[in-house]
Structures are given as C-alpha cells and as structure tokens.
C-alpha cells in the first residue's frame, strides 16, 4: 500500500496592523495541518506594527513586506511568491474551521474540470460568536451560468472559503489593486466566468462582522467599487440575461445590501434621537438608490416616519452621537478600504 498523497497548499493572508486577530487567523490554519496536508503561509503585510513580524515567525509563516496600500496589493505579493499546488486565502480578521480545505480538495479530485471550489461561511460577531442559525449560503448556488448570475445578483462568496488549483494564478491573473473594495469578488468572478467554479456544502470559516450601523464610511466607499465590478463582468456576459429587466434586477440586487444597511440605520438612529447620524444614513441611501429613497421618503414607509421624527427634533442629539459621526469618517488604519478595516463582503 502506497504512502498517502501529501497536499501542499499556499495560504495567502493580507494583513495591516491587526496583530491580535492575525495571531488567531494563523493559529486556525496551523490547527488543521496534518502529515497529508501542509501549508505554506504567506503573509502580505502593508502595516507598520512591529509585533506582526514576530507573530508571523511564531507560526512558521513567511512575512512579506508590501509598500502599496490595500488588501489587493498584499494578496498579490503573496500570490506571486506562492509555490504550492493549490491556493487558499484567509483575511487577517477571520478564522478557518477544522472542516475547511479537505472538502474542496476532494471535489477538485472528483471533478478535474473545475479550477476552484468555494464553501460555506458562519457569520459571527466581533468576538467570533455565531450570529446566524445556519451556515451561509444555506442552499447550493449552482454552477456555470446559474452561479455566475447569482454572483452578479448579490451573492458574494467569501474568499476565505476558496481552494484553487495553483495554475489559476496564470489563468485569471492578479487582484486588481485599483479596487480598494470588491477586488476579491472581482478575482473570483473571473474564475466563475470560466464556468470552472464549484461549491461544497461545508462550513469553512468564521466570518467576523462589525457591529451593525457602525461602518457608514466603509459602505459608502464600497458602493462605487461594487458598481465597477458588476458592470465589468455583467456586460460581457450579456447572454445570461433573459431581458433588460433581468439585467436591471441583478444590478439592484448587487447594491441592495448597501441600501438596506442605510435604510435600517436611519430608522434605528431616528428612534434613538440621533438626528445627525440618521440624516447621514438617509444621505447614504440616496447615494445607492436616489429614486427609491425619494419614494420611501414620500410614501407611508418607515423611512418617512424616521425623517419626520428627526425633522423637528424636540431635543438636540446627544454629544456622543456627534462624536460617533466624526469617528466614522476618521476611521482607523486599514489594509483595504480607507478609512475602515478591510473586509470586502
């Protein structure tokens, strides 16, 4: 009986000034290593924390300095240095689950026509406590044209779940560094357009979220990038759309998450008497869908009630609310979208 096949996977990890979370991320990668599955971990670092290099070394990973801004630049430097037969990814604020990697490799063995496989995500809060009842997506997104339509209609696979054959690097190229948001979706979309992207119903990562309603500036920055990614891939694939209306619905679904974010934030802030922050959320909704926002302000909808609630406030907004508005626009150091931390979807 022959020796078991040893798989060598290059894991690309972009990071920027988040040493504590990076330590958790790298530990989760090493935790699922075994004699038949080894990892070359490449950390692309465009931050300036001295602790980062020590943490990378402690996990036996390779530290790569990146002078250019953005997660795309950090991923590209690591991607070009990768020597494994397979490629995988992990954002520095997420964590791999023990079930990650092997299911994707098994499907690639069974389906030689596939070049990459994605899996499921468990959404968590900032403390990595699950916030959803089931892994996402609950139902398989399909393959070929069906998967491509879903990815162009609001389904954003998380790059931490993907395993790709090493040759994908030559097939689809590097990450687009001009996209400070959505560049991971853009890269995966190129594989999907080859009709060579599969799916496994396996929870692969804990996806760390931020407290809802706390990242207005990040959402505003992403709108333009996601529009760019949509038109870049939707227009050349015009044959998958049944009609112009079908195309329009896909565009709406792509940006729906941004609109819903600002809609909910406006209502919640108005209820708390945070007048300035509620107005900022309404302005954000206008940035996404001006016509729909106008309709919701004129019709008997929650947004209209929220606007009327803050239009003639009985008292001034709390001082803390003013500081919150300022902090959202100042933000913090990032490896991607400035001024907030990188997390594309």
Instruction: Specify the pLDDT at position 323.
Output: 33
- Render pLDDT for 290-335 as a digit per residue (tens, 0 to 9): 999 999 999 999 999 999 988 875 444 444 333 333 223 223 333 3
Q: What's the pTM?
A: 0.86
- Render pLDDT for 96-138 as a digit per residue (tens, 0 to 9): 999 999 999 999 999 999 999 999 999 999 899 999 889 999 9
CA atoms of 90 and 11, how far apart (whole Å): 7
Instruction: Specify the pLDDT at position 313.
Output: 55
Contact 105, 86 (CB under 8 A): yes
Instruction: Specify the pLDDT at position 14.
Output: 97
DSSP 8-class letter at 341? P
DSSP 8-class letter at 138? S
Q: Which residue has the tokens 């209609």?
A: 153
pLDDT(219) > 80: yes
Other CB atoms closer than 10 Å to residue 229's CB: what's the count? Answer: 25
- Render pLDDT for 1-36 as a digit per residue (tens, 0 to 9): 556 688 999 999 999 999 999 999 999 999 999 999
DSSP collapsed to 3 states, 158-174: CHHHCEEECCHHHHHCC
- Render pLDDT for 49-89 as a digit per residue (tens, 0 to 9): 999 999 999 999 999 999 999 999 999 999 999 999 999 99
List C-alpha distances in Å: 95 to 16, 38, 243, 314. 16, 17, 41, 46
CA atoms of 339 and 345, how far apart (whole Å): 16
Contact 90, 96 (CB under 8 A): yes
Find the helix or strand (DSSP H, E) in which 80 lies: helix 71-81
DSSP 8-class letter at 342? P
Instruction: Specify the pLDDT at position 133.
Output: 87
Domains of the chain with CATH codes: 7-208 (3.90.550.10), 216-330 (no CATH)
């Amino acid at each position: 009986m022959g020796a078991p096949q040893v798989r060598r996977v290059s894991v690309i990890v972009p990071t920027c000034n988040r040493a504590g979370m990076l330590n958790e991320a790298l530990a989760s990668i090493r935790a699922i290593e075994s004699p038949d599955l080894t990892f070359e971990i490449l950390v692309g670092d465009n931050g300036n924390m001295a602790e980062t290099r020590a943490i990378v070394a402690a996990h036996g990973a390779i530290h790569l300095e990146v002078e250019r801004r953005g997660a795309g630049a950090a991923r590209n430097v690591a991607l070009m240095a990768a020597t494994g037969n397979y490629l995988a990814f992990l954002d520095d604020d997420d964590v791999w689950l023990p079930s990650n990697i092997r299911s994707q490799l098994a499907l690639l063995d069974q389906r030689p026509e596939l070049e990459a496989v994605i899996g499921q995500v468990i959404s968590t809060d900032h403390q990595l406590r699950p916030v959803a009842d089931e892994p996402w997506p609950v139902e398989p997104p399909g393959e070929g044209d069906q998967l491509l339509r879903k990815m162009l209609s609001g389904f954003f696979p998380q790059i931490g779940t993907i395993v790709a054959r090493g040759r994908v690097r030559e097939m689809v190229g590097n990450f687009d560094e001009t996209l400070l948001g959505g560049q991971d979706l853009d890269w995966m979309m190129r594989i999907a357009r080859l009709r060579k992207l599969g799916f496994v119903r396996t929870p692969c990562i804990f996806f760390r979220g931020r407290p809802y309603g706390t990242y207005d500036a990040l959402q505003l920055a992403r709108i333009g990038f996601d529009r760019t990614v949509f038109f870049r891939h939707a227009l050349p694939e015009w044959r998958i759309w049944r009609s112009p209306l079908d195309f329009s619905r896909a565009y709406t679904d792509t940006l729906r998450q941004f609109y819903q974010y600002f809609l909910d934030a406006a209502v919640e802030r108005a209820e708390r008497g945070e007048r300035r922050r509620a107005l900022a959320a309404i302005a954000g909704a206008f940035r996404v869908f001006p016509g729909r926002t106008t309709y919701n302000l004129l019709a008997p909808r929650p947004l209209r009630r929220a606007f009327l609630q803050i239009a003639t406030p009985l008292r001034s907004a709390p001082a803390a609310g003013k500081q919150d508005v300022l902090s959202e626009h100042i933000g913090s150091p990032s490896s991607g979208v400035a001024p907030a931390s990188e997390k594309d979807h």
